[in-house]
């Protein structure tokens, strides 16, 4: 079963941490090292599919019916909804996916403390959507 773990870089109401652009270089390095080590362990176990960090920059694109698609820098999502990156995994069960998401949630942040990041865990669609 394949799952997508979406990283939002937002804490819980109990845990607040500054945006990564306010972390020290050492804190950023420790976070990236954790992410790379986590991915390496999943590669060894055969559970890793792919992962990417995403830039906060981007555009909204939509078919407008004629000519070139419309491109805009909005509507603007709330900062808390910013998707910072993702990791796709291929695991035996939902429970294993939850276990891995919990581990990833403990990535270090400022002062090396876990950031208690909420991850959105979504299964890949395994069957085609029914026709209307």
62-85 pLDDT per residue, tens: 777 777 776 766 665 554 456 788
Ranges assigned E (strand) in the chain: 2-7, 48-53, 60-62, 70-72, 85-90, 119-123
* Residue in this structure with the two tokens 């990417």, named with its chain if needed: 52
CATH number attached to the domain at 2-123: 3.30.70.1060
Mind listing the pLDDT tens digit for each residue in 89-127?
999 999 999 999 999 988 998 999 888 888 889 999 887
Residue 19 or residue 50, greater confidence = 50
Residue 34 or residue 105, greater confidence = 34
Predicted TM-score (pTM) of this structure = 0.78
């Amino acid at each position: 079963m394949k799952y997508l773990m979406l990283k939002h870089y937002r804490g819980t109401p109990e845990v607040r941490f500054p945006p990564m652009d306010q972390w020290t270089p050492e804190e950023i390095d420790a976070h990236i090292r954790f992410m790379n080590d986590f991915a390496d362990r999943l590669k060894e176990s055969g559970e890793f599919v792919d992962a990417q960090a995403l830039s906060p920059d981007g555009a909204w694109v939509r078919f407008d019916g004629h000519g070139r698609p419309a491109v805009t820098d909005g509507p603007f999502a709330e900062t808390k909804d910013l998707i910072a990156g993702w990791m796709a995994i291929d695991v035996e069960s939902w429970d294993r996916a939850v276990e891995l998401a919990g581990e990833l949630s403990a990535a270090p942040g400022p002062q090396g403390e876990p950031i208690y990041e909420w991850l959105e865990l979504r299964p890949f669609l395994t069957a085609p959507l029914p026709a209307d």
